[in-house]
Chain A
Amino acid sequence: MSRIPAKLQRWFRQNRQALLWVVISFSCLLAAWQIASMASGGRLQIPPPLEVFQAFFTAFVKPIGQNTILEHAAISLGRVLSGFAVATVVGVVLGIAMGVSDAVYAIANPIFEFVRPIPPIAWIPLSILWFGLGSANKVFIIFIGSFTYITINSYEGARNVDPQLIGAAQMLGASRLRIFTKIIFPSAVPYIFAGLQIALGVSWAADVAAEIIYSQSGVGWIITMGMNNGNYTQIMVGIIAIGVIGYLLSTVMRAVEGRLCRWNRQAK
């Protein structure tokens, strides 16, 4: 046992109860799943867990449709990241400009408030008419979905600057540009990251929805194909892949936020 580092040992000791319960609840889930799959039949089919996991790992080497599961994942991720990147640039610039300037706010806000309540999914039909059936329409949906959250949060961040800080900087003779780069932007960063975190989740959901509704590749396509062929196992494989990617995306985003906003956490 001496090979296990002391840190890990301590972690295990501290979390023994929680770990035990994780094992218990997962075993209950697997047992319930197994029983349900044996009891199911007809339309309400539930494939057994082992078959689903087998199919999931087989999909890494044996393609579903034209691509292996990793290629489908890469296609979906590419769409999400391109839509998200454009939305980040546009959203942060627009949000901060709205926060800093009354004129920009007056111009952009009425249109923004008009577009905001429409769920990104509702853009899918129009997006298909405008951008065709390929990747472009998904990128557009993802952009629409994440753009609103990023804009609102950047706006809130730029508005919620401590006025005393700005006053102090003005008194010390800082120029407007300097106040912006040294005070307004840094204090908006935690808000922006909170927005990015939500937006990334929404992007992923929007991409999955767009792929389920119409696509020829990507993890959402795996599910739709499964539905059209009545292949329950393939649907479950797709859902697992979507969950894993969703988890990775939010974990990575949190790690980036932890790195870049470390100063903020220390201040709290």
Chain B
Amino acid sequence: MKRKKKYLWLSVLSVCAALGVWELVTDILQLMPSYMLPSPAAVVEAFIYKLTGGVNPDGATLWQHISTSLKIALGGYTAGVVIGVPLGIAMAWYKKVDLFVKPLFDLLRPVPPLAWIPLLILWFGIGYSAKVAVIFLSAMIACVVNSYAGIKQTRQVHIWVAQTFGASDLEILFRVAIPTAWPMIFTGLKTSLGSAWMALVAAELLASTSGLGYMIQMARQMGRADIIIVGMFVIGVIGSLMSGILDLLGKKFVHRGGSK
């Protein structure tokens, strides 16, 4: 999204204006009570307080919440990738697997993974396992869909060439189909990271005793909008950091094996 630098001053102005309006309706005109929308200064203050080890009002520091959330999210995400990508590849490559799994998968897909949270909480309690399971489910679906589509993109001509040169079925899969699918698989990894992070927040809002979702849920119950905004900000920043790291990895690895 690189555009002309000519209007940089407009961007700066727009951010300043947004902050100005925010300040105006809160501190200066007091149109919004602080439990609904605190002033920018109050949010920054709350952020610094939580960042430097403040434990009120939810009983843990920001770093503790972040580490709980990251542990659960990355655990579920890894499981989803490790199972989802091979499953998607197998579905696309082996007709029998496709015919058997596709109907079940199509049955599962229209249900947003978040809808399983209550059932999983009843089954596994409000500890780690229910949340990891929800994140696993959300991550797996995007991985399967994209790996499947990626493998299906393999050009028939390429397969024929490989066959003519005497490649076995597995060789064709690993040397032709999977390299073709790499960029799509990577898109899947990125999409599923986003849904995994969203599922984590939902699961923590509903039932947990620590984590970023829990932090903003507690803040709501106590009418601490400043903490909520800090939490939302941190959730957004961590989300884009993770997808940025994935992008970097993608640039490094996908380039070599990619189709272009």
Contacts and interface: CB of A to CB of B under 8 A. Distances in A.
A and B pair up: yes
Given A109-B1, A125-B205, A126-B232, A117 B118 contact: no
A117 B100 contact: no
The 7 closest A-B pairs by CB, nearest first: A106-B7, A205-B112, A125-B220, A246-B110, A21-B99, A227-B118, A106-B10
Contacts of B219: 125
Contacts of A61: none
B82 interface: no
Interface in A104-153: 105-111, 114-126, 128-130
Contact of B104 (A29, A123, A223): A29
Interface in A200-216: 201, 204-205, 208-209, 212-213
A185 to B, nearest CB: 20
Contacts of B42: none
Interface stretch (A1-9, A81-89, A161-169, A235-243): A235-243
A128 B235 CA distance: 18
B205 A121 contact: yes
A249 B237 CA distance: 31
Given A119-B236, A232-B119, 18 more contacts: A25-B100, A43-B122, A45-B122, A103-B10, A107-B11, A107-B13, A109-B1, A110-B15, A119-B198, A121-B114, A122-B201, A122-B235, A126-B229, A130-B36, A205-B112, A209-B112, A236-B119, A239-B116
Interface residues of B, number: 60
Given A117-B236, A230-B122, A126 B228 contact: yes
B8 interface: yes
B35 interface: yes
B4 interface: yes
Do most interface residues of chain B lie in helix, strand or loop, or is the interface mixed?
helix
Of A105, A119, A205, A232, which is in contact with the most chain B CB atoms at under 10 Å from its CB?
A119
B248 interface: no
Interface in B1-41: 1, 3-4, 6-8, 10-11, 13-15, 18, 35-37
A232 to B, nearest CB: 7
A127 to B, nearest CB: 9
B202 A244 contact: no
B217 A232 contact: no
A227 B121 contact: yes
Interface in A33-84: 43-45
Contacts of B114: 121, 205, 208-209, 212
A129 B36 contact: yes
A110 B11 contact: yes
B217 A204 contact: no
